[in-house]
Amino acid sequence: MFGANFLQSDRPDMIARVSFVTPRQRTPLRSLTVSFILPFIVKYGGLEFRDIELLKLKYKIWQTLEKDPLFAHNAVTPTVEEQKRITQLQLKKINDYKFHTKEMVNSSYSRRTRTIMTINEAVQSLNPSVSVKMAIGIYLFSNALLSLGTERHHKFYESTFVERETLASFALTEIAHGSDARLMRTTATYDPQSKQFVIHTPDFEAAKCWVGNLGRTCTHTLLFAQLITPDGTNHGLHGFLVPIRNPETLETYPGLIVGDMSEKIGVNGIDNGFIMFNQYRIPRENLLNRTADVTEEGIYESSFSDPSKILGAALENLSAGRIGIMQESCHSIASAVTIAIRYAATRAQFGERDNEISLIEYQLHQWRLFGYVAAAVVFRMYIENFSRVYLSIVEKSNAGMKVDNLSEAVSEIHAMVSCSKPLLTWTVLSAAQQCREACGGHGYLKCSNLGDIRSNHEATVTYEGDNNVLSQQTGNWLLRQFHSARNGGTVDSPLNTVTFLMDWEKWIAVRFRCSRTDELKTREFITTTYRWLICYLLIQTHEKYEAELAKGLSKFEARAKSQVYKWKELTKTYAEYLAIIFFLESLDKKEPSLQPVLTKLFCLYGLWSLDQHLVELYQGGYSQGESLARLLREAILELCGELKGEVVSVVDALAPTDFVLNSVLGKSDGNLYQNIQKAFFSHPGAFERAPWWREVVTIPKSKI
Amino acid sequence: MFGANFLQSDRPDMIARVSFVTPRQRTPLRSLTVSFILPFIVKYGGLEFRDIELLKLKYKIWQTLEKDPLFAHNAVTPTVEEQKRITQLQLKKINDYKFHTKEMVNSSYSRRTRTIMTINEAVQSLNPSVSVKMAIGIYLFSNALLSLGTERHHKFYESTFVERETLASFALTEIAHGSDARLMRTTATYDPQSKQFVIHTPDFEAAKCWVGNLGRTCTHTLLFAQLITPDGTNHGLHGFLVPIRNPETLETYPGLIVGDMSEKIGVNGIDNGFIMFNQYRIPRENLLNRTADVTEEGIYESSFSDPSKILGAALENLSAGRIGIMQESCHSIASAVTIAIRYAATRAQFGERDNEISLIEYQLHQWRLFGYVAAAVVFRMYIENFSRVYLSIVEKSNAGMKVDNLSEAVSEIHAMVSCSKPLLTWTVLSAAQQCREACGGHGYLKCSNLGDIRSNHEATVTYEGDNNVLSQQTGNWLLRQFHSARNGGTVDSPLNTVTFLMDWEKWIAVRFRCSRTDELKTREFITTTYRWLICYLLIQTHEKYEAELAKGLSKFEARAKSQVYKWKELTKTYAEYLAIIFFLESLDKKEPSLQPVLTKLFCLYGLWSLDQHLVELYQGGYSQGESLARLLREAILELCGELKGEVVSVVDALAPTDFVLNSVLGKSDGNLYQNIQKAFFSHPGAFERAPWWREVVTIPKSKI
């Protein structure tokens, strides 16, 4: 049965440790394992009843791949070349397993997408490079064909998404232009004589780069280039389907300079490539022509008049990618905290009268880790809930059903994604780092897996929109809503995330009035304080921006001068608020027995996040004097203490299987040192004399 | 001439970018290059006139190794095995180069040590694994022989430090005990029959581990084990010289299980090993017997009565290691900020009317990076100044000269080192991360070198004392001084770092009274605020600790409950204060032309650090209302703006040579994209078809 590994684990060592050191606070960990985790997994890990199938699929994938030697873990990192080979073979094998059943392929958009996301998550937690290859080369590509292309491109959709014969790529970023897509310099000039587009790269700075799958494997790329008609007009960026390699030989076609970008900090299984086009010709039909086309004679015909809108439609496709990143991030943080918490429960150090104490007993250690455990739970429920809302809107819209305020909802979702992807990916990055440090030297071993989790995850803070650049877009939207609310207009928030701005004067008037920590450990305190904060930061950002404009700066300059401490802080705060309100919405649907622990985790996440905003709370007059900081921090430490007995069970519920977790420090059996010993002793060559000993030996003048 | 590479670089591209985008603020970068950098290097990089020789030595090492193919950089990370081989060969070659001249070996302690540190720094910035191997296997080992051993161990000193025939290791940490050395379980039991010590490891949890050089290469180890006399008495940890391998064959001796710990997150050139002893016998004379000995008959004779003092004497040796780590950290942060600042000056993105703007023009980008540039400068001058003080005290003490308040000075230095190593290593870790992110996707390339700088550096937050554990020792000392001051006693601070606590009532009464940013950008404001903060945190920590004691907790428990927000914050604040006051002392000796830029960097570092303490400043009543946070943050942003024109020159002064920096993004010529192109195009196999194409090719059902 799926999840059985959690139930069968005895973890005698872990239980012994925890109960040994604090006999009076002994937690019935074993009974919790039975009574608490099962519903926790079913209701929380997999969520609602109708999602059991997806959870089963995830475990089926994990169990299938665990039995396949091609997916066995390597004790030593293979060479970059070998990683690429293994990754490509694994991708092929996963396609062959056909986890994407015919039934799934033909199911509703929402169902299909959630299945894809589940497959992606399952694969990502085993080998992130495979899931990125798959996400870019199959899902993003075929999705883009559907939304940007027309019937004539459908065969590519079939061969990529259904038959899995084609692996594609996505060529947007150029060497000198990443975040600023407007200034891309690759051109696609229409030639009416031959009825072809001529793709050209003016120089190396305009070479497309960071194109996943392009370095060695893809046969096609979806290229974004400036479309130029015979009259010399530049119609802006458009998508083109461009053949790159002969699928039978994987040789690149003449007219292309295609190279592999070689080694990176992580995800080295992906063959990121760069490409330069030398007057490279493709048929006219390869333009993805849903929103605009060029006639055989070379006349540009568009259903939009503004090229930036066309681009906007094209880039809207990227939301799915960002949501995918957030889901993967939820898995990465779950793995990281599982390893660190299990290690903390089994590793003892210091104590009195030679009674050593588990690390988890130390308040400092709890404080370092439990906030991230809470974040792991809150983020997962947030993203699960948000994905559902997002998918249902897209589904309705695709089906031509009426969605109220569709364009407002799209703006709101874009604003939400643009700040949430930064919040999640940054938080997970620091979680992975903190978990590594909390496992001390042993955490620095490759076999802890914390290094690889971190290095592979790190790319996400940069790709699919650099976090610092991306989150600025949220600020634009928030300021627009606030501006409207201040001027008696409406707030366009169909998802109801900032409707409260209509009453901004009420929220900004709230003051801190608590005198006991209990009063802070409530959803009311946390949501109210967040609303105050968002209003305060909106006012501050707005005033700063207006002041810069008043000095004569342009909008662009004024915005650049309003980022630090204002805009940036505002978007981060809003993202935390989103996680909180979406979590609360899900929480209310959980069965009562789960609510206490989830509520504690919620409060910890909320207060732990507010701790980072205390300066603004003081600066803005929400409170004066010492009590706010004191009570808030006391409440955090109380929650750490309250969660100590449950945190091992919580990570058990979050954790993947031991095979997937792949950490010698985090196995569910709790036999920490036996597992380390096994890893050390079975390591290839561990006890051998260095093969190169002859080269380095020094014969001493006199034997010592 | 050394440093000439800075002066010859024209950086036309960098100058063009910077001057292009802000014509009105154009900085005479070229003239700065000539007039500003030379004195900056000589006076600041290399410091005082008598240190020119050390600076020359560093450049001599860099230039020598640049010409040696063995030290050529690898475009792709070699296998872990190959990294170990190369590292050991490089170590051997460096020994052969005899940078450690006879003259140096015979010079004064202080001179000798500073030369060793210079060699170490020069090597570390090229290959950190080599410098760690050298630091542990040669310097720490031979130092320990001098301080723990007697004449009979001198031949080992000769063969290690002078002849470089022996490579040793340092075996302290056990699998189950790292930070808590008291509970180490490896025993050395004296056998009077054979006049030998019998070394034994009871089980795997007591195996020594993380022993650098032990996995493959060392011939001896300095082992710390519980010394047990025939009467069964355990006399605590002692140091023993233990042969591990036959130096002629590198085969381990019978009775030992020695294994290599395999792959780690970084510094994979070091062969970290584990070892288990099976009744392994060594001669009685191998006990390092400066402070205690065992007679032939098995009687323990000690000049100290308290075993913990013996241990204290043994571990005092580790200070040099921690100072070495801090010096290396200064190099790592210098390299990281150099890469990110040069990239920021040459990389343009966004702008108005297609006039793209260099990243360095963006306030957000300045704010993300300039604080770390300031930290790099402040840390280097702090550690340089502090090392000098430290070495002169050790030298005098070694020479038997009278040092006033020697034991108090030793305590103070230990307190300083125990919080400064955490501050520096953590700051450098986050600097490396921020620099990587600030270089976007290109920073994620291995050839940016930011990944390797980060991964190799990361170990320093854990080794030589885990940062979280180590810094607690500083708190002990600070609280002792404060307790004494409050009770009318003296403050034992021969280095004058906390003498101000005598007037703690005066400092804690200070209140924020500024109304203009100018008033904050002063050494008076910064040092005064730090003194207030330290007093406040001392009071808070003391009260918390006393309150926990009053609840009936033991000292151990009370201390554990006083870490978060109190003890931990206190020691961090004190470490920042140390950096500030030692920097200021050096600053006053610099020539007047350098003072403006150094003062700006100082103010930025001070205010940027205080920004992280605003909560305590509000909570403790140092200020109320919005002006403190507003002015402090405005001052930081003003300083960023003021430094924009000088920051490229500042990093030029901090930077090593291009060969050492080894970053395609950070070359001093400023030809960013040409350098990237060269790296991509010359990469082995970049344009080849994947060697494994036959295994992955998919023949489509129908050709597309």
Residue A305 has pLDDT above 80, yes or no: no
Nearest to A700 among B159, B217, B260 (CB): B159
Looking at the structure, tell me whether residues B328 and B267 fall in a common domain. no
Half-sphere exposure of A200 (CA within 13 A, CB side): 11
Interface test with B, best of A161, A173, A182, A462 (most B CBs within 10 A): A462
What is the bridge-based pairing of β-strands B220-228 and B170-171? Answer: parallel
How far does A40 lie from chain B, in Å, by closest CA? 31
CB of A294 closer than 8 Å to CB of A229: yes
Residue A293 has pLDDT above 80, yes or no: yes
Partners of B164 on chain A (C-beta within 8 Å) are 698
Q: In the predicted model, what is the mean pLDDT of residues A153-157?
A: 89
Interval A499-552: pLDDT, tens: 999 999 999 999 999 999 999 999 999 999 999 999 999 999 999 999 999 999
Q: Do A356 and B180 touch (CB under 8 A)?
A: yes
Looking at the structure, tell me whether residues B323 and B197 fall in a common domain. no
Which residue in the block uniquely carries the two structure tokens 């004191």? A630
Q: Do A618 and B630 touch (CB under 8 A)?
A: no
Identify the DSSP state of B73.
Answer: P
Q: Do A629 and B637 touch (CB under 8 A)?
A: no
Q: Does residue A698 or residue A286 have the better pLDDT?
A: A286
> CA–CA separation, A465 vs A473, rounded Å?
11
**Chain A: residue nearest B683 by CA?**
A262
Is residue B634 in some structural domain?
yes
Q: Do B629 and A615 touch (CB under 8 A)?
A: yes
How far does B329 lie from chain A, in Å, by closest CA? 17
Interval A194-250: pLDDT, tens: 999 999 999 999 999 999 999 999 999 999 999 999 999 999 999 999 999 999 999
- CB-defined contacts A:B, below 8 A: 349
CB of B446 closer than 8 Å to CB of B452: yes
How far does B296 lie from chain A, in Å, by closest CA? 22
Residue B192 has pLDDT above 90, yes or no: yes
Looking at the structure, tell me whether residues B264 and B377 fall in a common domain. no
Q: In the predicted model, what is the mean pLDDT of residues A268-293?
A: 96
Q: In the predicted model, what is the mean pLDDT of residues B198-207?
A: 97
pLDDT band at B47 (very low <50, low <70, confident <90, very high): very low
Count up the domains in chain B and report the number. Answer: 2
**Chain A: residue nearest B158 by CA?**
A704
How far does A247 lie from chain B, in Å, by closest CA? 7
Interface test with A, best of B252, B358, B704 (most A CBs within 10 A): B704
Is residue A102 in some structural domain?
no
Looking at the structure, tell me whether residues B481 and B372 fall in a common domain. yes
Q: Do A447 and B75 touch (CB under 8 A)?
A: no
> CA–CA separation, A320 vs A328, rounded Å?
12
Residues of chain A with pLDDT > 70, as a percent, come to 90
Is residue A599 in some structural domain?
yes
**What's the predicted TM-score (pTM) here?**
0.93
Nearest to A216 among B563, B564, B690 (CB): B690
Q: Do B696 and A621 touch (CB under 8 A)?
A: no
**Chain B: residue nearest A92 by CA?**
B696
Nearest to A76 among B217, B262, B352 (CB): B262
The pLDDT of residue A304 is 57
Is residue B113 in some structural domain?
no
Looking at the structure, tell me whether residues B432 and B573 fall in a common domain. yes
Nearest to B437 among A165, A461, A701 (CB): A461
CB of B127 closer than 8 Å to CB of B98: no
pLDDT band at A9 (very low <50, low <70, confident <90, very high): very low
Interval B122-131: pLDDT, tens: 999 999 999 9
Partners of B274 on chain A (C-beta within 8 Å) are 680
Burial class (CB in 10 A: 0-12, 13-18, 19+), B306: exposed
Looking at the structure, tell me whether residues B453 and B548 fall in a common domain. yes
Residue B591 has pLDDT above 80, yes or no: yes
The pLDDT of residue B41 is 43
The pLDDT of residue B165 is 85
The pLDDT of residue B574 is 98
C-alpha separations of A95 from A104, A166, A167, B652, B698 in Å? 14, 11, 11, 52, 11
Interval B296-318: pLDDT, tens: 999 999 775 444 444 444 445 66
Residue B334 has pLDDT above 60, yes or no: yes
> CA–CA separation, A278 vs A274, rounded Å?
13
Partners of A620 on chain B (C-beta within 8 Å) are 626
> CA–CA separation, A316 vs A310, rounded Å?
10
Residues of chain A with pLDDT > 90, as a percent, come to 75
How far does B268 lie from chain A, in Å, by closest CA? 10
Residue B183: partners with Cβ closer than 8 Å, 6 or more residues away: A354, A356, B177
Could you tell me where the beta strands, DSSP code E, fall in A460-556? none
Interface test with A, best of B217, B264, B265 (most A CBs within 10 A): B265
Q: In the predicted model, what is the mean pLDDT of residues A676-683?
A: 96
How far does A537 lie from chain B, in Å, by closest CA? 13
How far does A270 lie from chain B, in Å, by closest CA? 13
What SS3 state is found at A199?
strand
How far does A127 lie from chain B, in Å, by closest CA? 17
Partners of B432 on chain A (C-beta within 8 Å) are none
Interval A157-181: pLDDT, tens: 888 888 888 899 999 999 998 877 7
Nearest to B462 among A217, A437, A692 (CB): A437
Looking at the structure, tell me whether residues A295 and A319 fall in a common domain. no
CB of A412 closer than 8 Å to CB of A490: no
Looking at the structure, tell me whether residues A332 and A259 fall in a common domain. no
Partners of A462 on chain B (C-beta within 8 Å) are 437, 440-441, 443-444
Is residue B59 in some structural domain?
no
> CA–CA separation, A307 vs A222, rounded Å?
18
Partners of A247 on chain B (C-beta within 8 Å) are 697-700, 703-704
Residue B262 has pLDDT above 50, yes or no: yes
pLDDT band at A700 (very low <50, low <70, confident <90, very high): low
Looking at the structure, tell me whether residues B529 and B598 fall in a common domain. yes
The pLDDT of residue A299 is 96
Is residue B672 in some structural domain?
no
Q: Do A629 and B615 touch (CB under 8 A)?
A: yes
Q: Do B175 and A673 touch (CB under 8 A)?
A: yes
Domain that holds residue B495: 309-348+358-392+405-653
Is residue B112 in some structural domain?
no
Nearest to B205 among A79, A673, A700 (CB): A673
Residue B106 has pLDDT above 60, yes or no: yes
Identify the DSSP state of B351.
Answer: E
Q: What is the ipTM of this complex?
A: 0.93
How far does A48 lie from chain B, in Å, by closest CA? 38
Interval B480-539: pLDDT, tens: 999 999 999 999 999 999 999 999 999 999 999 999 999 999 999 999 999 999 999 999
The pLDDT of residue A399 is 72
What SS3 state is found at A224?
strand
B650: its two tokens: 């500042």
Q: Does residue B540 or residue A593 have the better pLDDT?
A: B540
Taking the CA atoms of B396, B58, B328 and B90 in sequence, report the sign of the dihedral they define. Answer: negative
Partners of B681 on chain A (C-beta within 8 Å) are 259
DSSP secondary structure string for all residues of B225-262:
EEEE-TT--EEEEEEEEEE-B-TTT-PBPTTEEEEE--
Is residue A621 in some structural domain?
yes
Phi/psi for B355 (5° steps) reads: -90, 100
Partners of A271 on chain B (C-beta within 8 Å) are 690
Interval A365-383: pLDDT, tens: 999 999 999 999 999 999 9
Q: In the predicted model, what is the mean pLDDT of residues B244-257?
A: 96
The pLDDT of residue A614 is 98
The residue count of chain A comes to 704
Looking at the structure, tell me whether residues B507 and B551 fall in a common domain. yes
CB of A261 closer than 8 Å to CB of B445: yes
pLDDT band at A19 (very low <50, low <70, confident <90, very high): very low
Nearest to B440 among A178, A356, A699 (CB): A178
- List the CATH number of the domain containing A255: 2.40.110.10
pLDDT band at A646 (very low <50, low <70, confident <90, very high): very high
What SS3 state is found at A292?
strand
The residue count of chain B comes to 704
**Radius of gyration from C-alpha coordinates of chain A:** 27
What is the bridge-based pairing of β-strands A220-228 and A187-191? Answer: parallel
Looking at the structure, tell me whether residues B424 and B442 fall in a common domain. yes
Partners of B561 on chain A (C-beta within 8 Å) are 363
How far does A43 lie from chain B, in Å, by closest CA? 34
Residue B43 has pLDDT above 80, yes or no: no
Q: In the predicted model, what is the mean pLDDT of residues B83-101?
A: 94
Looking at the structure, tell me whether residues B263 and B235 fall in a common domain. yes
B99: its two tokens: 């940078």
Nearest to B251 among A251, A685, A689 (CB): A689
Q: In the predicted model, what is the mean pLDDT of residues B605-618?
A: 98
Residue A303 has pLDDT above 90, yes or no: no
A32-36, B197-201, B384-388: range with highest mean pLDDT:
B197-201
Nearest to A183 among B354, B363, B467 (CB): B354
What's the mean per-residue pLDDT of chain B? 89
The pLDDT of residue A52 is 82
How far does A609 lie from chain B, in Å, by closest CA? 14
